[in-house]
Structure 1
């Protein structure tokens, strides 16, 4: 399982996602992004925008932003659900 979380130091939404990943015992790698939006080109290349948090799950071919959507995906895919989520990955 390969999940990458793009996050910003001090971002409360990023920390909420970290807490959810840890609660579900899902291993992940963190990529720390810079504070100024203008320097988040790597994030923009993935999602088309520069906001964080962003989760990339290679196993499911999912790249998404917005913590609420990320929570739903994580809970459905890695929580107590019987089957993986069908997630709209369009932005």
Structure 2
């Protein structure tokens, strides 16, 4: 994880701890989209959830830091629920 990503994760942790529902919503949306976030579906997922790109980035950083998401080529694969 790059230094910037680590700083983002540390900064995001308190905010995301208070919005576990938003993380769960994100996971459900990605699961419904086939378990992978890629260039073609990223904007649609964010729009569906009413999330800003910044909020999405914070959630992805959290998910990657605790192993619930992993990079896959240029995409992001969720590794929880039916996506495991």
Shorter chain as denominator, the TM-score bin is: under 0.3
- TM-score, with length taken from structure 1: 0.25
Highest RCO, 1 vs 2 (Cα 8 Å, sep ≥ 6): 2
- TM-score, with length taken from structure 2: 0.26
